[in-house]
Amino acid sequence: MAALREEIEQLKAEHTRARAEHKAKLQAKIDNLNAKLQQKLEQAKQRSEQIRSESEAKVQALQKKAAKAQGDAKAVMDARVTRIREEYEQAASKLKSLTAQQVKRAG
């Protein structure tokens, strides 16, 4: 995504210096790269949702097992549930931050 962002910025700079006939071509390239960037952001959003669904399924399965377990086994499963949730939150936070940066730059 950063490479696309950089190329967009370079084309915008060239666009400001270009003649009218060349500006249309540059604008088309900029629009194309912006569309690619938006597609990548959408893919990241979909992946985030997939990760969330998978994490929640793992948590629910472990919670069912933990409900039947006792002692150390229950504690291990509860710790795993906590770890899965923390890993998901970290991944979601990172993706949200990257997405926000890309959207801010695209604007």
26-83, pLDDT tens digit by residue?
889 989 998 998 898 888 889 889 988 999 999 999 899 888 888 898 889 999 999 9
Contact call for residues 29 and 47 (beta carbons, < 8 A): no
Alpha helices in the chain (DSSP H): 2-17, 20-68, 71-106
Let me know if 58 is exposed, middle or buried by CB neighbors in 10 A (0-12, 13-18, 19+).
Answer: middle
Residue 86 pLDDT exceeds 90: yes
Higher-confidence residue: 34 or 18?
34
Residue 106 pLDDT exceeds 70: no
Has this prediction a pTM greater than 0.85? Answer: no
Higher-confidence residue: 56 or 96?
56
Q: In this structure, what token pair is assigned to residue 33?
A: 């790269």
Q: In this structure, what token pair is assigned to residue 89?
A: 């939150």
Sign of the torsion formed by the C-alpha atoms of 47, 50, 56 and 60: negative
